[in-house]
């Protein structure tokens, strides 16, 4: 059974940093497309960064490029999201997701993935 568990959220001041972790089980993160998404109250889900399955190309949403970095530790079967220079508008529930289908990171960030983990709350105070 594919399972994902995000952790590492919390309260941080504007300009601060957080690193989110996504522990995966039931599959190998190196074999699946993997990504991070977020959803703020009253807003649609937004793809932050996704690594495609096949081309391995990493996609970042424009508003987060240069501030957020996705990475994988295959030995720990864990995916990370390093978030720097956080802003109040980054406040949201952050979730990780995975998909075994072939596709680009851009595709998965736009349309979502098959498997989702429970999110972790990130709150950025001004």
pLDDT per position as a tens digit, 73-115 = 999 999 999 999 999 999 999 999 999 999 999 999 999 999 9
When pLDDT is cut at 50, 70 and 90, the band that residue 55 belongs to is: confident
| Average pLDDT of span 2-8 | 97
Distance, first Cα to last Cα, the chain: 40
Residue 45 in this model has a pLDDT that exceeds 90? yes
CB 122 within 8 A of CB 84: no
Q: Can you give the pLDDT at residue 117?
A: 95
Assign 44 to helix, strand or coil. Answer: coil
Contacts of 68 (CB under 8 A, 6+ apart): 36, 48, 49, 60, 81, 82, 83, 84
Assign 58 to helix, strand or coil. Answer: strand
- Distance, CA of 46 to CA of 92 (rounded, Å): 10
């Amino acid at each position: 059974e594919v399972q994902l568990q995000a952790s590492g959220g919390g309260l941080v001041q504007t300009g601060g940093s957080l690193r989110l972790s996504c522990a995966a089980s039931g599959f190998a993160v190196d074999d699946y497309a993997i990504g991070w998404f977020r959803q703020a109250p009253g807003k649609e889900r937004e793809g932050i960064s996704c690594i495609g399955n096949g081309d391995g190309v990493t996609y970042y949403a424009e508003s987060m490029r240069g501030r957020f970095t996705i990475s994988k530790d295959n030995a720990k079967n864990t995916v990370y999201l390093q978030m720097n220079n956080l802003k109040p508008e980054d406040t949201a529930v952050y979730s990780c997701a995975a998909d075994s289908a072939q596709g680009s990171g851009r595709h998965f960030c736009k349309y979502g993935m098959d498997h989702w983990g429970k999110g972790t709350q990130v709150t950025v105070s001004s």
